[in-house]
Chain A
């Protein structure tokens, strides 16, 4: 008779498998190396083929989030995939994507007027298996809509990033992870003058079957560099946005 703990462990593993989480890296699957951040995810693998949402009510946060997401997308596109960037009011400057490892001409931008159209386009794009990632800048997304998107990616295994630019309320969504990226002061070697590499505080506010956390990281030389040990997950709830 197996131990109760073993049964629970086995069941948890089965649940993860049924939910589509990969336990072992497949050979040609894109690898996203976030260093210690990866330990926060189930099985220690960044969940691709899922919806990630990012809260960025401030323009500066939106800029930082664009950078962080571009870098993630850059890793997803490393095998020559294409990416679609859907936006309701886009200010993204394509040449800057090159800094984060994306060839800007491999990104197709879809600029729409209405959120309704953008959501439709996002769902259609997430159903398309030929894409590496779909990024959407939307003011709002509700639970029903996010559930639809999550169902779409479960079929197609496309990774979706949603940048929520409105600060009204966070609400409940069906996405696999919720992030908040805040810019941090950069630093130069030996305290020299000038602006250094972009630094962010990366907060994982919610992750399905994983642990929350806060990390400080710098984007330099084409990869993420963690600046210090992650603070304990108990002090995470520092974000100013209220749920509900």
Chain B
């Protein structure tokens, strides 16, 4: 969620709008009805609508229940897995993998992005190569990951870290390019050393992009999780999906997909809140 929107939404931050009137809160711009719905109610309306549609189609009996389970069957499957304890365990295993992969990928992504974004040498050496790597999807790396790391945790972390790394690198790299020249001028004419300029001016100026990249990275860590768990896992949501496929348990698949979706949305919201604090000056 919010992935595509963030990809296209990042423009170089302008150097403060000319007047205060240029930056009203988002809510103020919405018409009256939009404003009352802008709260937590909005997603509920959409979800309620889709759920009602789903229930209606299922109740009409016009679809094959074995292929397209009814909401109540999915709830049963969910309760069943929850009662067995597999759901909580799978979820924690999967989120743990996503977290480790994210940390590795994000750390490397920021470090390499800072290097290529600000240093000609690194940009020449790595920029084009990494740009070429970007279209390679995580799932295509599964065979390589298995050969390199076996079917243990290493291969999962590798696949996730790879995806996260490229996205975080890309955003960091571009954020560094868009540091407004006027900040650099101000910093130098105030006598800051190059190191201080880098730490106190360049990095904060690029921070909104870096943070946007990290948020995207979190989303991608969860997205590539299922691909990662194709490398011969014996637990995790992705593994459980594979297992459900073998037994043609579409109800379980649906339950797992919903769990994955909800987990992703919750994590994204948490990251969104944190990132707004991190770059509080950049009014979203």
Q: Do A and B bind each other?
A: no
Q: Which residues of B contact A (CB under 8 A)?
A: none
